[in-house]
Every structure is written in structure tokens, then in C-alpha cells.
């Protein structure tokens, strides 16, 4: 069973799990800036054992889009 996406996002952005929803957007809060985005990408790649394309990293603009993009890598997050 793959780790819960909200759990991973919370850990990478150093936020409480209750603060994470699928609607949460990149750059909408100070905790999710471009530097934190790189930490999040590293966490996602490690947790789901994937290597993301640069285009997909740029396209991951919300928790919901991350979930959608991960499906391309056969990950049901």
C-alpha cells in the first residue's frame, strides 16, 4: 500500500496533515515555495519510487494535480 499523498506533502512542507487538501496550491502559502517544491519532489520520488519528468515537476501546481500526474507513473496516491 503506497503512502498517503497528504502525509507526504505535510512532511515535505513541514505542515500539519490537517492543513493539506487536494485544493492546496503551489505558491499559495509561504511553506510551499519553489525551494519546498524541490523537497516535495524528492519525497514523492522516494515514496513512490519514480523519476519524474521536468515538465511534470513544473505542472504539479496543486495537491490534486500531483495526484493526477502520478497516475501517469502508475501510482495511485
Contact footprint for other proteins (CB under 8 A): 35, 38-39, 41-42, 45-46, 49, 51, 53-54
Q: Determine the Cα–Cα distance for residues 31 and 64; give it in Å rounded to an integer.
A: 17
Q: How far is the CB of 42 from other proteins (least distance, A)?
A: 4
Residue 59: all three cell numbers together = 505542472
Residue 26 beta carbon to other proteins: minimum distance, rounded to whole angstroms:
17
**Cβ-contact 10, 32 below 8 angstroms:** no
How far is 39 from 9, CA to CA, in rounded Å? Answer: 10
Minimum distance, C-beta of residue 51 to other proteins, in the bound complex (Å): 5
Nearer to other proteins, 10 or 39 (CB): 39
Amino acid at each position: 500500500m503506497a503512502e498517503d499523498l497528504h502525509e507526504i506533502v505535510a512532511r515535505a512542507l513541514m505542515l500539519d496533515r490537517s492543513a493539506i487538501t487536494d485544493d492546496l496550491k503551489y505558491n499559495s502559502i509561504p511553506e510551499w515555495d519553489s525551494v519546498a517544491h524541490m523537497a516535495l519532489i524528492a519525497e514523492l520520488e522516494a515514496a513512490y519510487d519514480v523519476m519524474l519528468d521536468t515538465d511534470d515537476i513544473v505542472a504539479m501546481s496543486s495537491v490534486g494535480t500531483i495526484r493526477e500526474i502520478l497516475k501517469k507513473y502508475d501510482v495511485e496516491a
